[in-house]
Amino acid sequence: MTLSRSADDLGRRLMERLDEAAVYSLPGQGVTRLFAGEEHRRLLPLLSSWMRLAGLEPELDAVGNLVGRCPRALAGEPALILGSHQDSVIEGGKYDGMLGVAMPLLALEALREQGREPSCAVQVVAFGDEEGVRFPSTLVGSRALAGTLDPKVLEGEDKGGKTLREALAYLGADTSRLAEVRRDPERVLGYVEVHIEQGPVLENEGLALGVVTALTGIERHRVKVSGKAGHAGTTPMEGRRDALVGASAMVLEADSLLRRLDSLVGVIGQLTVRPGAVNVIPSEVEFTLELRSPDPERRLAGRRELLAGLSGIAKERRLEMTTCMDYEAEGVACAEWLIQALEQACKEEGQPSRRLFSGAGHDGLAMHALTDIGMLFLRCRDGLSHHPDEAITAEDAEAGTRVIMQLLISMTTACRKEIGEG
């Protein structure tokens, strides 16, 4: 059953709200709204007003999340949490983060206008920090909800020497109540986030919406290739052990292997050449290799194949190669019951969708420690994000809002039990 069309222009209304929120930005191109900064502080009354229109009671928690609770959630019923982040990157777009705050609030408001109610208790959380731009920490808000936030991050400083604790006090948050932010998993049904795709998959397939299956795992390596320096004029070409020529062959090899491997993407994004002189054969090159996959086994298999390929090239060219992995974060899977609930809601609204994985991290990475997570992706123009030209259409905004309305009226604890543990 499709919801009645009385709530017209939801797309237009959502776009207007996102424009309104985008005003709370540092000067410059696009949107720059840093965690617990002046623009964040000035945005809060606007979000609170949207929450009240949605029938939620807003509250600023100890770490700068603005949390809206419906009366049933206030009474202690287990709630579905929807939300996303309020902060942006430097000169980012209007939609990364704010879409996932504004859309569920408008969906709740539209249901109210139609005299309908969500089938479960609901909270909408506008997380303070996801991007990790200002302070040396990230996912502060969602980690606090999940109970995995190390209180030491409050002492982390921004470039100007201000601690996160001081910035939060300026925002109006009472950091002495940090422990209260942690949620009881028994009182949470799940976490659903709407986000722009930040990639081109949906646009290429002509789809407005996609249902996320997993958030990517990430690993980063440092690869050092050593050869032999020598005078660039007097050393014959034959027999040179040029580390940069070897590293270049490795870059091409990694690219061609990554193109063949399924469910794995990667990049060599940084390269340092030593001694780095115009007339000396390079003796050493150090480069980074980052791999991302939602599937830990494929990531491991891909890593082995790639490193073996690179090592083969080193041998061929008589170069030394050492590698070290200096970062690894596991990906997390979305819950099948939430994937199916989102797909069902798309179907009810006559919106074709596809499953896809997220190559970027999101608040769900932290929320996964607390509860089941689900994500709905919305098509963005040219797959562009973290950029002032980030764009979505009003039609897609409307489609997404209607799907969230459907999800809200069809969500029940029973649905979790039936689909989830079936």
The residues that touch Zn ion, with contacts defined as CB under 5 A, are 96-97
CA separation for the pair 91, 260 (Å, rounded): 34
Q: Work out how close the CB of 282 gets to Zn ion at its nearest, in angstroms, rounded to a whole number.
A: 39
Q: Give the C-alpha separation, 261 to 246, whole Å.
A: 22
State the minimum distance, in angstroms, from the CB of residue 89 to Zn ion.
Answer: 9
Pick 232 or 329: Cβ nearer Zn ion: 329
**Residue placing its CB nearer to Zn ion in the complex, 97 or 210:** 97
Helix (H) or strand (E) holding 345: helix 336-348
Between CA 64 and CA 75 the distance in angstroms is: 23
Half-sphere exposure of 374 (CA within 13 A, CB side): 26
Residue with Cβ nearer Zn ion (99 or 106): 99
Contact 117, 55 (CB under 8 A): no
For Zn ion, the closer of residues 153 and 194 by Cβ is 194
Q: Would you call 259 exposed, middle or buried from its count of C-beta atoms within 10 A (0-12, 13-18, 19+)?
A: exposed
Measure the CA angle with vertex 403, ends 59 and 416; round to 5°.
Answer: 75
* Cα 247 from Cα 11, distance rounded (Å): 50
Classified as helix, coil or strand, 60 is: strand
| Shorter beta-carbon distance to Zn ion: residue 68 or 97 | 97
What's the first-to-final CA gap in the chain, in angstroms? Answer: 25
Give least dist CB 383 to Zn ion, A: 14
Tell the smallest beta-carbon distance from residue 215 to Zn ion (Å): 11
Cβ 193 to Zn ion shortest distance, Å? 9
* CB-facing half-sphere around the CA of 188: CA atoms within 13 A: 21
Task: List 356's β-bridge partners, or say none.
Answer: 212
CA separation for the pair 337, 345 (Å, rounded): 12
Give me the half-sphere count of Cα atoms (radius 13 Å) on the Cβ side of residue 27: 0
DSSP assigned state of 172: T
CB of 207 within 8 A of CB of 376? no
Nearer to Zn ion by Cβ, of 197 and 349: the residue is 197
Beta bridge partners, 332, equal 215
- CA angle (103, 400, 195) in 5-degree steps: 65
The least CB distance from residue 363 to Zn ion, in Å, is 8
Smallest separation, CB 95 to Zn ion (Å): 9
Nearer to Zn ion, 96 or 295 (CB): 96
For Zn ion, the closer CB: 321 or 392: 392
Residue whose structure tokens are 């562009």: 384
**Residue 222 beta carbon to Zn ion: minimum distance, rounded to whole angstroms:** 27
Cβ distance to Zn ion smaller for residue 63 or 411 = 63
Shortest Å, Cβ 231 to Zn ion: 51
